[in-house]
Structure 1
């Protein structure tokens, strides 16, 4: 890499890591925030839900706006909004202001993530350099999500929960100062107007989907609110497809959405991200409710998972370069699935339970980051720069939905098993439910690997018009 490319990579990865941390940094501190600002216990979920709704719901729309006005401009605007929203959250004195700050952070994430990823893919040509850049990106995204809970617990314990917001401010200012000096302007195809009907239908559909998924944790999958939200999502997505078939300049051309690498690459990403985020939730409950560990100790236990993710990301370029993106993707899913399955050996003894957890989660983190890097490469490969905005928006949206989807699914599995076993508050029953959910987690990942191996073939990686496979 040239010096300019290194600086560009540092700026873009710094922004991606920042937004990944924001997704989970408040998790541990939610009870403290609720007590300090006067949130009702049932309303605490809105601190996370407000962020998830805005970030996932508006990502596709913002990415297409970035294609037209310039991805660099969207990136700068998103970073400015993230910095201001973080300052507002750190100074908030009542629940309403805090929720406004979280919506601002979510909207900023919807702008920054696809813009940063599109700028990254257009700054590095397909080949070893792009593979290396995306490997670092995948490692830092996964590490950021894992490190968010640790950093949030440490800041809330040693300083104040407000620093979970304020820590973003100096980082955001530094990125805003450096970014204009190193980022090359980039945009997709120019259009006379934005596909407003397509933008509205897909945004409403995504908001309804995320609302239904997050609400399922509190209200249950069979509640009327959850079912209506998911039904609205299905209707809006159907309307979106009809709109795109007729639009002269669609927000998401179906030729890109129907591409095999885009479809199955994003499915693989959804599987690996949702199951890993759900596993982090299960292990948190296990350490606190079964082993009786403190919040700070629980956060520190994820350090080894973060180390596995980081090391996996460092060697991911070699793995992808040797095997190709398809084989590396399958290997990552298999390693993640097998390591997750081994966690069923956890027990109620702190020594053996933590030994199994630390080793299994670290190995699973290695496989997980290989899968994340490979799915990103798969879903954005062999596409012209004019379509990188849409492709990267889809991968970023997959990340957000994956982070949201895993917890309600695996928690529903665990709770369903515990409900059959009598005393749902006993450590033995909780452990049993967690084990069942872990088995489901591993089975989904391994089944996904088998499905991807059938549906995503080496021929699908051929460059259009060349017949040569991409490596």
Structure 2
């Protein structure tokens, strides 16, 4: 089906009227992003109660978290391309409907199978929401200070969503029980749906071309196999036969995807996109940042609860300073970038977060929140948010309007896949450190040794990322295309340097 036949004619919003109130539309779109990020972390502190409530096994408890992340990460590229072809507002509204309905089902689930399936469908909805919302935001705010401020809001709600998930998860679980973490997410999704339907204008006509079904299936299957292998490796080990088989399958499917894309007239991942501005650099750096980001919100609540003995509620409240620092960093990131430049801003932000994580790697088993967690959390929040805003901007820089949804899907994919890789590796290293320490040390000391290892390695990863940033974020643009022999519209040219420096 041609996208020319799927223009978003069902949307009747008065675009002119709504465009005069872009701040209201931005609030609705930011609410959609916040809801997606909230669902990523809100279940973490409630897992013991969820396990008891629906009779989850150990593996079932893990998949309550993994089912969402697996579907989300694997389907983001497809969601972004669907938004470009079918209409971004339409895909956003459909994603919010699916997301809200599946959240409601998860809260009502009486069995582990229903709960895990609902979480997977929740991830499907999120994979439609995230790229469509980002593309709509880009359409509302053309390049310039306005887009910078909008990206600052985007960064604030993205980071705050992760921290708020821990807080709300603790509050709701302790006050009313675990089903309410899903009920509240459902209510939030439906409220955002109503706001988006009322205030978000439909984007200009959808892009041309046919949907690349084979490419979508192969890359989705490849990402599914990769993320499944990574999440399973945390539990069974990296040499497990099923894990190795999933990695081999992922590699084979990715190779197939490349072959499919070279021959398709309208590929899912057009080569022109990879030659746009600093998109490739932004995505690579975002993957490295994501590898630390998701792990942070996994290990920090565990340390607070398992070592410091904090309740779910106190653990959630302890995330508030980090969330506040995140919002502050996001608000000032565009201003800092205009003054210092993108390269200096990104590098400084990564080093700031690395310093906070290194400080956090000094935690002790007999420590306290005020001494061990509070101050490093502030540094981490400032650095994380500033880096996220700037790398998101890099990842959509220079992208043509017809590819905005795909660019949004790509940057979310790299963050999610980077997060899955990082969490799997860091969980393995932390587990090994705990096992070694448990031979001679008490249980809490051994757990703390594992968490220290995870935070220290995270700091090193970010320091390396900061060292790479000046090399990758130089201002580059695509060279004019030289005449070549005719090829298919979707052919992937041989890899060669297509950029030049601008000083």
Could you tell me how far apart the structure 1 residues matched to 2:380 and 2:160 are? 13
Could you tell me how far apart the structure 1 residues matched to 2:415 and 2:169 are? 21
**Cα–Cα, structure 1 residues 151 and 402, in superposed 2: closer, same or farther, change >3 Å?**
farther
Structure 1 counterpart of 2:416: 400
In the TM superposition, what are the counterparts of 1:67-466 in structure 2 within 5 Å?
A: 67-186=84-203, 187-191=205-209, 193-259=210-276, 261-351=278-368, 354-421=370-437, 422-423=439-440, 426-458=443-475, 460=476
Q: Which runs of 5+ in 2 are unaligned?
A: 1-17, 482-498
- Following superposition, the deviation at residue 63 of structure 1 comes to 1.4
Please state whether the residue corresponding to 1:345 is helix, strand or coil.
Answer: coil
- Following superposition, the deviation at residue 406 of structure 1 comes to 3.0
TM-score (norm 2): 0.88
Residues 60 and 112, structure 2, Cα contact 8 Å, conserved in 1: no
Residues 356 and 377, structure 2, Cα contact 8 Å, conserved in 1: yes
Could you tell me how far apart the structure 2 residues matched to 1:251 and 1:425 are? 53
- Following superposition, the deviation at residue 26 of structure 1 comes to 0.9
Residues 338 and 442, structure 1, Cα contact 8 Å, conserved in 2: yes
* Count of residues paired in the alignment: 467
**Cα–Cα, structure 1 residues 429 and 92, in superposed 2: closer, same or farther, change >3 Å?**
closer
Structure 2 counterpart of 1:10: 27
Could you tell me how far apart the structure 1 residues matched to 2:480 and 2:386 are? 26
Please state whether the residue corresponding to 1:185 is helix, strand or coil.
Answer: coil
- Following superposition, the deviation at residue 425 of structure 1 comes to 5.7
- Following superposition, the deviation at residue 303 of structure 1 comes to 1.4
Residues 273 and 402, structure 1, Cα contact 8 Å, conserved in 2: yes
Greater shift in the superposed pair: 305-314 or 401-410: 401-410
Could you tell me how far apart the structure 1 residues matched to 2:104 and 2:428 are? 35
- Following superposition, the deviation at residue 159 of structure 1 comes to 0.8
1:102-143 deviation line (CA, Å, top 9, x unaligned) = 122111000000000010111110011111111111121111
Residues 238 and 244, structure 2, Cα contact 8 Å, conserved in 1: yes
1:287-332 deviation line (CA, Å, top 9, x unaligned) = 2333233332222211111111111112112112222333222221
Could you tell me how far apart the structure 2 residues matched to 1:282 and 1:397 are? 22
Residues 89 and 136, structure 2, Cα contact 8 Å, conserved in 1: yes
Q: Which runs of 5+ in 1 are unaligned?
A: none
**Cα–Cα, structure 1 residues 44 and 231, in superposed 2: closer, same or farther, change >3 Å?**
same
